[in-house]
Amino acid sequence: MSETADTAELGEKIVNVLKTIYDPEIPVDIYELGLIYDVFVNEDYDVKILMTLTTPNCPVAETLPLEVEEKVKSLDAVKDAEVEITFDPPWTQDLMSEEAKLELGML
């Protein structure tokens, strides 16, 4: 039971780290933008993040996933981290949180 709590707690820490990473073209973090589709943490504390980009030819397509991976790996409890990029489903503004929409003046 404590292992489940540990992985859930680590998941929260990972989300907090993701909220420090911003899309350089949009002044909102990647988590609130809806670019993070899923975060998986296994019992060995290996992390896999499924994310997307605003467009397939996004200017940060090369650097943003690496930044995500490096920042998540910097957490003490994380043994390893891998980022997988997907465009299925494609990102839309509907994936943005209310907070992100408010920040961008869309509400």
Average pLDDT over residues 54-66: 89
Of 66 and 7, more confident: 66
Query: Residue 1 above 70 pLDDT?
Result: no
Query: Residue 59 above 90 pLDDT?
Result: no
Per-residue confidence (pLDDT) for residue 7, from 0 to 100: 83
Domain boundaries of the chain, sorted by first residue: 2-95
Orientation angle between helical segments 63-73 and 2-18, nearest 10 degrees: 140
List, as one string, the DSSP characters of the chain.
-HHHHHHHHHHHHHHHHHTT-B-TTSSSBTTTTT-EEEEEE-TT-EEEEEE--SSTT-TTTTHHHHHHHHHHHTSTT-SEEEEEE--SSPP-GGGS-HHHHHHTT--
Topology of domain 2-95 in CATH is GMP Synthetase; Chain A, domain 3 (3.30.300)
pLDDT digits (tens, 9 = 90+) for 28-50: 999 999 999 999 999 899 999 99
> Taking a C-beta distance cutoff of 8 angstroms, is the pair 93, 106 a contact?
yes
Of 29 and 1, more confident: 29
> Taking a C-beta distance cutoff of 8 angstroms, is the pair 51, 83 a contact?
yes
